Structure 1
């Protein structure tokens, strides 16, 4: 059939759900008004390892409004079946209230259920828990590592030994927490054997629904998950945390719907985090900077009961051309809760190390950092041997250098000064995997010329409602205001997790396929209808625009969807689009080049980011306005990673010292400079039917390294630990 006119895709449209959000009418997990709901507050462990010896609930139960206190002493045994399709890491996931073991500080040990939130909070403060405690192990540097995962090609040791230039460095990154605006929350209600939860989740079907079915040992179809809006996530909602199980358990035990909202403090041990890393790298090159070899020795924290890993090795295998690579990635089990994916997972950590190391090599050789990267551009993915689907990284470099004014940069560190401020610029490369997963979407065209498209996806902020509406509108030939996209309900067609930059590629492709099929049904109906002005026309010669089917080269000959369906007595036309990724014949990644300028106070060591420019090869941009929002958010997050964010643990008992937004620092308006994003034209037709590669992760990857490299250029001091603090620069 003829290609559809593209009126919505590519247009800088405002969010279709924007009015709901700014007027406070968008219902987040805790906002749903469920009749008869009572409140639950979790009691957390005050020790980091040991056993519970006693729980005294008498004072709590004596308080007016308190209905029940549940702990391992009176909780029923839960099924906790294996759930291999979820985001649960290998190991034995935490089983709430099933035994007396304490695995980390802040572990849930009881829950108080009361008729009001205030009564539940007060009751929780009165629960007295006694422990037989031992000192926890919470330090990455002193923990004993598991057997490493390894990768090798060539002979890196020999190549480094014979290289003309050799460097060896150790970098460290701190634990980071997601800190979304909306705290994690769940409302749970049982209707006989049927469980409904209103949950903050980034994976409606394969995440919350399957996990609750597995935990309670009930059929999957007996669990309904509703999550129409998510107030930020950054990865924190990619698995089902203990509080969701606790809410469902409390609802079962009290025979009331139960609302449970984590406090800001509880987010630091009740949900995951980006793990801390120690990353040693050695590299060898010739005098012109052509890389011969690189070795990577990585240690990352995980919990004692689950082994969390992420793609921290991938960039070192494929980002630059080199014949010899050796990698070892060891997890270090500690007495902490389990980490989880956080924006740009694995890739963001690796990029800080690799891109800092490239900058150190450039300085050692006296070569421009951008030119060094150009000299090491590969022709193919040397890890897989596959050709790149698209790799417009050279274009990113060229465009970024021109727009940023890179040619005005002095090579010599500490050479530019404005009064007390040392000025420096730096750049870094970003890369992230183009993830595509099977997804479905249902499209329904109504006789009145409107359409409804549904998929069990999520929207934590990137604009899923809007971007999917754009794809659907163009595929159906409708205007944006006549299409409604619905998401966030497990009764809708299943989709993959809302993370890893896979939603647009996966769900968007399913939406395209489903809407294309509905449009084809309408066109077929028209050409076979003797009363239609399109009767007998070749289906390939018909397009649809603004709800009207017409001959491509003769717009006057046609009719509307409304006329066609009404005359044929059809209330609607419907199809389910299923997208399944093709076999991998290409290496598929999104790329970016980040440029940053900083000012560092020469006397005080204060760092101020002045401007950041990101240039991205992310395939087709469905919604430029949403893309800018994603890019700016990724840059802001990168500023936090580089200069501010650091979860601090008291290693005596495992307590997180700065478990609040007053002491865990994130960028605020005063920290955010002039930010700009540019997108290189060109879709990736190999990746998926709509040509996208994903944007939400790659815009974060490389930002911290660009800032760190700019700090070195400003001061002449190389800081190899994030965040870069004032103390490190004094």
Structure 2
């Protein structure tokens, strides 16, 4: 087939759902279902919805000895109080395929054990939200409390996951220059604008759940497993997500609580987590203790690295993330040894958060590289160039594409790196110490199986469906772009539908995987529809295209024509009407990278300029630049938005975000946006993103490498390195606080 004209892909288009969002018409989980969804998704407007409020455990470990619900049950508007003493037993079939970590997932209201502070111990269902909230305040729970273990520095780690090549100890001993540094990274919480929420409705044995999730099919499969339902008895709907950052990548206990409450009461139930409950009702980026020993020769050629990594997990599940990857392949060195230990604590289970694993590791590795550069008197970019690998040395696979050196070059030029003084505390602006820093970033973008369905109607419009999500990167828009070009239609004549488990199955909406995985399935489905139309035309004696080689036909603006001869052709509408076809339909699939054996990563170089108050230690980020090797950029406007969001998130990790836990009872002290600080407009000044032009065709049809995760990797160390350049203080703990600089 002749290549299709690309009119939409690569164009800086506005979001197709933008108007719905800014006018308040976009429907989120707590607002569903509404009448507006009926024509689009076939979901009814529910009547008689009642409200559920969870009662949280006030101890961090122990057992429930009694629950007194009498006062709550007498309160006006309270319908039921459900807890382990009266809840139905739930099957909880095994379901390790829905992002449930190894272990025994939390079983709500199935026993009297308390595993962490804030665990759901009861739920109150009321006719109004206020009635349910008041009823929840009246439930009295007595406990046999035990001392929880919540301190990563004092708990005993589990057996490590190990990696090794060469002889790291010997390589370190023979190194002319050695570093031995310990780092601490605080726990981070996702804090999306939209709280997690669920509306659950039973119609006989059919369960429909409107839920905030980043994986419609994962939530669907988990609900089916917990309640032991056949797959076709469960439907999960989620057309919009108000931010996620990874918090919606698994089905959390509150979703099960809502469905259970709906079954017990026989009413549709709405359950919305409070902002406080999101700190222990969903996951978080785990805290780390990380020791890195690094060795090089006098010219800075790396010889050996030893990584000892401890990360928190829950006592009942073992959460892991890709924290080892960057240390194995980002730089060339013959000797590497890693030990990654999960430390079981009495906390809820962590979950992936933007740039998972790689963002945490990058702070350590890139801080150490900056320290080594300073020790050697070598420019930080030059040091990285001296250690650029020719292949992924952890697998001996060639890189699909790796343009990190170009990221350095473009970033240094655009940022004005040559104006940086290598001597700390040598650049000032009045009482502000000025520093410039940089860091490399890498992320192992995902490529997972996915499916899509495309239908071209006789009026020349198309509908494309896939059960993916859109938590903010612009999935509605980018998938419409690739579908429009593959079908040869304009953007306004294509509708992309997502967020419904009745649509074709897709993988999680995370891991920078959606464009490569779902996008490839969408292209495949649309190609099949377009090819059906072309075949119909070239075999139709009444068509201007009759007898033309199908490979010579392209479609643009809804019109099929001969490549290079636009005058010879006809529209989809005329073709389908003449052949009495109401529509054409095709199912597409993406099966993963297949036989591709290349090392497939996205990269960046991040640059930061900070100002530090010489007396108070206050850090202000003046400007940041990210340069990205992310393959083909489908939507430049959305890509820039993603980059800015990742940089802002990285500023939060570097300077503001951390969880404070009272280790006496496991309570999170700062569970709320008043005390858990995140960046706001006043914290953000000049941001710039540059995307290298090019494609990476390793294992996907679009030439993309994913962008949503890598944009946060490297931001925190770039800021930390700039702080060192400004002050001469090497801070190895995140966040970097004023008191650490005084």
2:495 to 478, 484, 489: 484
Cα drift, residue 589 of structure 1:
0.1
2:662 to 620, 629, 650: 650
Cα drift, residue 583 of structure 1:
2.2
Count residues in correspondence: 729
1:93 to 83, 88, 105: 105
Give the Cα–Cα distance (whole angstroms) in 1 for the partners of residues 449 and 58 of structure 2.
Answer: 43
Cα drift, residue 584 of structure 1:
3.3
Equivalent in the alignment of 2:368: 357
Equivalent in the alignment of 2:279: 268
Give the Cα–Cα distance (whole angstroms) in 2 for the partners of residues 334 and 204 of structure 1.
Answer: 29
TM-score normalized with structure 1 length? 1.00
Cα drift, residue 406 of structure 1:
0.5
For the pair 1:292 / 2:303, whether they are aligned, the reply is yes
Answer whether contact 2:241 2:469 (CA < 8 A) is retained.
Answer: yes
For the pair 1:687 / 2:664, whether they are aligned, the reply is no
For the pair 1:543 / 2:554, whether they are aligned, the reply is yes
2:61 to 49, 53, 56: 49
Equivalent in the alignment of 1:620: 632
Cα drift, residue 434 of structure 1:
2.1
2:117 to 102, 105, 108: 105
Q: Deviations over 1:203-249 (max 9, x none)?
A: 001x1100000000111111000000000000000000000000000
RMSD: 0.5
Equivalent in the alignment of 2:290: 279
Equivalent in the alignment of 1:2: 2
Cα drift, residue 687 of structure 1:
3.4
Secondary structure in structure 1 of the residue aligned to 2:566: strand
Equivalent in the alignment of 1:670: 682
1:79 to 88, 91, 102: 91
2:350 to 332, 339, 342: 339
Q: Deviations over 1:95-126 (max 9, x none)?
A: 00000000000000000001011000000000
Q: Deviations over 1:636-662 (max 9, x none)?
A: 000000000001100000000000000
Give the Cα–Cα distance (whole angstroms) in 2 for the partners of residues 642 and 583 of structure 1.
Answer: 39
Equivalent in the alignment of 2:597: 585
Equivalent in the alignment of 2:330: 319
Q: Deviations over 1:550-604 (max 9, x none)?
A: 0111110000000000000000000000111222310000000000000000000
Secondary structure in structure 2 of the residue aligned to 1:370: helix
Answer whether contact 1:103 1:304 (CA < 8 A) is retained.
Answer: yes
Secondary structure in structure 1 of the residue aligned to 2:388: coil
Equivalent in the alignment of 2:644: 632
Answer whether contact 1:588 1:687 (CA < 8 A) is retained.
Answer: no
Answer whether contact 1:687 1:693 (CA < 8 A) is retained.
Answer: no
Unaligned stretches of 5+ residues in structure 2:
35-45
- Mean CA deviation greater in 578-587 or 697-706: 578-587
Q: Deviations over 1:424-482 (max 9, x none)?
A: 00000000012100100000000100000000000000000000000000000000000
1:528 to 526, 536, 539: 539
Equivalent in the alignment of 2:41: none
For the pair 1:67 / 2:79, whether they are aligned, the reply is yes
Answer whether contact 2:596 2:698 (CA < 8 A) is retained.
Answer: no
Give the Cα–Cα distance (whole angstroms) in 1 for the partners of residues 698 and 260 of structure 2.
Answer: 46
Equivalent in the alignment of 1:396: 407
Q: Deviations over 1:245-299 (max 9, x none)?
A: 0000000000000000000000000000000000000011000100001010000
Secondary structure in structure 1 of the residue aligned to 2:141: strand
Cα drift, residue 35 of structure 1:
1.4
Cα drift, residue 134 of structure 1:
1.1
Give the Cα–Cα distance (whole angstroms) in 2 for the partners of residues 528 and 687 of structure 1.
Answer: 33
Answer whether contact 2:279 2:671 (CA < 8 A) is retained.
Answer: yes
Equivalent in the alignment of 2:425: 414
Give the Cα–Cα distance (whole angstroms) in 1 for the partners of residues 564 and 552 of structure 2.
Answer: 8
Equivalent in the alignment of 1:231: 242
Secondary structure in structure 2 of the residue aligned to 1:30: helix
Equivalent in the alignment of 1:572: 583
For the pair 1:607 / 2:613, whether they are aligned, the reply is no
2:190 to 178, 189, 203: 178
Give the Cα–Cα distance (whole angstroms) in 2 for the partners of residues 114 and 410 of structure 1.
Answer: 64
Give the Cα–Cα distance (whole angstroms) in 2 for the partners of residues 686 and 74 of structure 1.
Answer: 54
Answer whether contact 1:444 1:575 (CA < 8 A) is retained.
Answer: yes
Answer whether contact 1:638 1:700 (CA < 8 A) is retained.
Answer: yes
Answer whether contact 1:547 1:561 (CA < 8 A) is retained.
Answer: yes
